[in-house]
């Protein structure tokens, strides 16, 4: 086992760059086996300048060719596998000088998909966080911002399309069948926002008029056979542009804006200035091949990356510790956009619930585990490991709290001041907080604790009603458990929306600001004992320690006017009963029945209300997890719901049909969601009786939402015809990679079914399938991640076989793509939460991975921290 301690980077050790760049000119001759990069960089003293200091550039997997300073060959330098240190600078570096470097990289061998790489014969880049150093030697850090001019050269027959950031200056025919395109980005940017794309691509395009009256060209580039699947992404882009103008007064600042889709991509998408590069999963959609969830995700991700044009690009991060400055803020913006696109207040509530459910299923466990970190981390070893749900989703909740505290207009004032102060700069989370505070004249100094402290705060609720005095007394006490490196926590500034529900509904919603360890409030003139509805709309990302009676929870579930808390009450009732191995009682069944039959409730809300808490969320409520016991209890609870409400499910299945052409709008999607939940519940009640109806839906469906839902119901409930339908599904869509990802994921995510072979055996066969590729992140996620991270009941087997498979997969994937391997490694980081024998077997699997002599820093950090903390 390696004993070398990994290098750690600490936020408080930030040092401004000794040198900075004013202008960068790149000339890139593209060849899969040998791409030649010529860079011309105008270098100036930076904020951290020291006379005579060398210029230290970083580079990885590069072949150095030559170096020139101010036009003359320069031989005073030191070269290592990761640095180029230039010595004896002109005039000791005090004045601007020109550095010219020629180097070579090999895109076709770059399986990490960071830097410049080849996918299906086309060239793509991914430079965030530290990929640019795989293209040329550079100051690859976000606080070095420069203007770029880029000339791309390639064989025209192989790469007829040549794209880069900004505006197209010119194209040129070159000898020997080559051609070139020169692009210029008029705005300074850090290297992580650089992008190039070259290959055989086609686009759809539209021209729109911006708020200032300027014409803007929008293009979406894809491989030719995917062109028919791009209109929804284009519609989403246009809607995003107009929404940002209306909501925040922010206009598209380039002559054109481009999106490019590629199937080999580590993440969802990347906001490179004017040239967003996307995973095909978040661009391509048509009714026959994409589900309602796919359509919604495309709308959200297109918006997210476009919104980065201002929150991330025009104003960027001083260093990577400030990642949530752009990501948390931009997630909040895309959530608000998607909520507005729902078209109604009930639709906004559905979107809010979906966002909170994701946060609690993924981020709360992270906050309680060995990789816990504040939204602004204080230390990291490998920055790729900190593109986390904490930075993104919890970061978004922190931004949302600003809006809760300051109001929508106050938040806009803060945003306006932020851009006025910092446009074109690389700044910090503190700068954003200062803009919000100064624009509104509000003291937010204590709010800084959300940035510096890890963990999910717990708020204990104590209530007392004094009937004689007609007073309601409320006491709130906050705490936060220790997390790695933080044994003690200071009090948070927690905004809590609350309302007292009374028979006369005469109490308004108010906002409490919990800033002390313990605070109390007294409410006068309360004629009857009220039911407390607190943390309405999930106004703060906390856990409530509130021993509310089942009667009060039933009251909230039956009629709280806050949709989130109504949903939340149902989740709490189900969770308590499942963890106590109780089946739903007559009162709860009645409440579910009334909710399903309520004509005034949005179908999408009904579907969410009847979807039980996820197994992984239930784990977080236990001190020692027995995954098989939780799976069995949850399945029994669900089956009882299915049987007791069988008539209602059957009626809803018919009532929620959506005749006519497929439309991905929120109302239609909500009806399909409730219809397909009803179908699944009917098979849960009696698979033999209702499987033929699912089979019929599978065969006659004219859209992927309904076809895939029917197939899922058949597979998950072990219907006899499931395998036949799986075979048919594969043959229908064998040429559509994203649909085949669904085919893989469904089988890998199948929970245990009595009398059928284990899912693990099937997953092992899927890994050997001709269509599986270990170097394609989407395929890895659809098979290995779907099993290890999204199928807890099949993964957590008492014999430890799932953990052995996990270890094999991490070790096989790590040499190919460390970033994707590190995300898979997170599947076992909560091993201490589990009962025996699971715990010891997980630990053994972790130790086996850590013992590898060739482990990447990405995986070593995750596994090392899991075993250490």
SS3 227: helix
Round to whole Å and give the CA distance between 353 and 568.
9
Out of 128, 130, 299, 305, which one is annotated catalytic?
305
Nearest to 310 by CA among 404, 355, 245: 245
541-559 as b/e, with b when 16 or more CB fall inside 10 Å? bbbbebebebebbbbbbbe
CA distance 238 to 172: 31
- C-alpha 341/C-alpha 220 separation (Å) is 21
Residue with tokens 């606080």: 143
Whether the CA torsion 341, 345, 346, 348 is positive or negative: it is positive
- Edge-to-edge strand ranges of the sheet holding 275-279: 202-209, 215-222, 256-262, 275-279, 269-270
Q: Could you give the CA distance from residue 81 to residue 133 in angstroms, rounded to a whole number? A: 11
The candidate with the shortest Cα–Cα distance to 36, out of 68, 2, 63, 1, is 63
How far is it between the farthest Cα atoms of the chain?
95
Task: Say whether 868 is catalytic.
Answer: no
CA 490 to chain centre: 28
Is residue 482 within 8 A of residue 433, CB to CB? The reply is no
User: How many angstroms separate the CA atoms of 432 and 17, rounded?
Assistant: 22
Q: Is the peptide bond before 786 cis (omega within 30 degrees of 0)?
A: no
Assign 479 to helix, strand or coil. strand
User: Please, what sign has the CA dihedral across residues 87, 88, 94, 95?
Assistant: negative
For 289, list phi and psi in degrees, rounded to 5: -125, -10
Length of the chain in residues, anyone?
A: 869
Give the span between the Cα atoms of 326 and 335, in whole angstroms: 14
Cα–Cα distance measured from residue 819 to residue 810, given in angstroms and rounded to the nearest whole number: 11
DSSP 562-583: SHHHHHHHHHHHHHHHHHTT--
CA distances from 735 to 685, 729, 771, 776, 777 (A): 36, 11, 10, 16, 18
276 vs 203: CA distance, rounded Å: 14
Nearest residue to 118 via CA among 220, 262, 228: 262
The residues annotated with a catalytic role in the active site are: 305
């Amino acid at each position: 086992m390696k004993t070398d301690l990994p290098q750690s980077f600490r936020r408080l050790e930030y040092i401004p760059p000794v040198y900075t760049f004013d202008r960068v000119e790149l000339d890139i001759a593209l060849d899969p086996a040998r791409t030649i990069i010529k860079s011309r960089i105008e270098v100036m003293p930076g904020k951290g300048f020291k006379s005579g200091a060398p210029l230290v550039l970083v580079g990885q997997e590069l072949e150095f060719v030559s170096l020139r300073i101010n036009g003359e060959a320069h031989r005073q330098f030191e070269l290592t596998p990761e640095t180029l240190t230039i010595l004896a600078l002109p005039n000791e570096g005090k004045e601007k000088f020109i550095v010219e470097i020629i180097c070579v990289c090999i895109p076709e061998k770059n399986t990490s998909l960071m830097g410049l790489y080849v996918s299906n014969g086309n060239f793509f880049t991914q430079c965030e966080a530290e990929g640019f150093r795989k293209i040329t030697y550079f100051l690859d850090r976000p606080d070095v911002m420069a203007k770029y001019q880029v000339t791309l050269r390639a064989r025209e027959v192989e790469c007829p399309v040549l794209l880069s950031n900004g505006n197209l200056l010119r194209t040129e025919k070159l000898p020997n069948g080559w051609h070139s395109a020169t692009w210029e980005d008029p705005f300074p940017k850090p290297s992580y926002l650089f992008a190039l794309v070259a290959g055989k691509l086609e686009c759809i395009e539209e021209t729109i008029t911006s708020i200032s009256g300027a014409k803007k060209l929008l293009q979406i580039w894809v491989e030719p056979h995917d062109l028919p699947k791009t209109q929804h992404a284009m519609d989403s882009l246009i809607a995003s542009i107009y929404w940002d103008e209306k909501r925040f007064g922010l206009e598209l600042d380039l002559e054109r804006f481009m999106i490019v889709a590629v199937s080999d991509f580590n993440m969802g998408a990347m906001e490179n200035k004017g040239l967003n590069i996307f995973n095909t999963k978040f661009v391509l959609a048509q009714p026959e091949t994409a589900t309602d969830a796919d359509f919604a995700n495309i709308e959200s991700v297109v918006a997210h990356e476009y919104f980065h044009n201002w929150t991330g690009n025009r104003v960027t991060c001083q260093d990577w510790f400030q990642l949530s400055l752009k990501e948390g803020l931009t997630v909040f913006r895309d959530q608000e956009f998607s909520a507005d696109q729902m078209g109604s207040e009930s639709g906004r509530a559905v979107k809010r619930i979906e966002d909170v459910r994701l946060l609690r299923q993924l981020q709360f466990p992270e906050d309680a585990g060995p990789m816990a970190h504040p939204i602004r981390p204080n230390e990291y070893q490998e920055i790729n490991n900190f593109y986390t749900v904490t930075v993104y989703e919890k970061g978004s909740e922190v931004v949302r709290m600003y809006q809760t505290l300051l109001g929508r207009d106050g938040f806009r004032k803060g945003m306006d001041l932020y851009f006025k102060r910092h446009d074109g700069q690389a700044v910090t989370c503190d700068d954003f907080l200062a803009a919000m505070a100064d624009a509104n004249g509000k003291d937010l100094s204590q709010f800084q604790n959300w940035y510096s402290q890890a963990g999910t705060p717990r708020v204990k609720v104590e209530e007392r009603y004094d009937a004689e005095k007609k007073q309601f007394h409320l006491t709130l006490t906050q705490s936060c458990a220790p997390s790695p490196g933080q044994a003690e926590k200071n009090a948070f500034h927690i905004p809590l929306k609350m309302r007292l529900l009374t028979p006369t509904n005469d109490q308004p919603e108010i906002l409490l600001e919990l800033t002390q360890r313990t605070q109390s409030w007294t409410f006068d003139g309360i004629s009857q004992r009220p039911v407390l509805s607190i943390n309405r709309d999930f106004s703060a990302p906390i856990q409530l320690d509130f021993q509310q009676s089942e009667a009060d929870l039933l009251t909230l579930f039956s009629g709280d006017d806050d949709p989130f808390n109504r949903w939340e009450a149902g989740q709490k009732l189900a969770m308590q009963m499942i963890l106590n191995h109780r089946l739903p009682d007559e009162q709860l069944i009645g409440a579910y029945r009334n909710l399903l039959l309520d004509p005034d409730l949005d179908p999408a809300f009904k579907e969410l209300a009847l979807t039980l808490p996820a197994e992984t969320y239930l784990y977080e409520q236990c001190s020692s997890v027995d995954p098989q016991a939780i799976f069995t209890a949850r399945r029994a609870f669900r089956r009882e719901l299915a049987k007791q409400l069988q008539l209602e499910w059957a009626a809803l299945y018919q009532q929620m049909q959506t005749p006519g052409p497929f439309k991905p709008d929120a109302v239609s999607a909500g009806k399909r969601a409730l219809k397909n939940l009803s179908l699944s519940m009917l098979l849960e009640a009696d698979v033999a009786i209702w499987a033929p109806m699912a089979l019929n839906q599978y065969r006659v469906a004219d859209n992927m939402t309904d076809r895939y839902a029917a197939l899922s119901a058949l597979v998950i409930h072990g219907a006899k015809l499931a395998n036949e339908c799986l075979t048919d599904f594969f043959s229908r869509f064998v040429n559509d990679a994203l649909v085949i990802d669904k085919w893989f994921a469904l089988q890998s995510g199948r929970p245990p079914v009595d009398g059928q072979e284990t899912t693990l055996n099937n997953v092992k066969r899927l890994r050997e399938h001709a269509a599986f590729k270990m170097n394609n992140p989407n395929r890895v996620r659809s098979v290995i991640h779907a099993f290890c991270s999204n199928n807890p009941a099949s993964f957590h087997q008492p014999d430890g076989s799932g953990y052995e498979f996990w270890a094999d997969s991490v070790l096989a994937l790590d040499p190919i793509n460390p970033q994707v391997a590190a995300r898979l490694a997170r599947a076992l980081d909560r091993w201490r939460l589990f009962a025996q024998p699971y715990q010891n077997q997980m630990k053994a699997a972790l130790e086996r991975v850590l013992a590898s002599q060739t482990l990447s820093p990405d995986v070593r950090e995750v596994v090392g921290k899991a075993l250490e903390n």
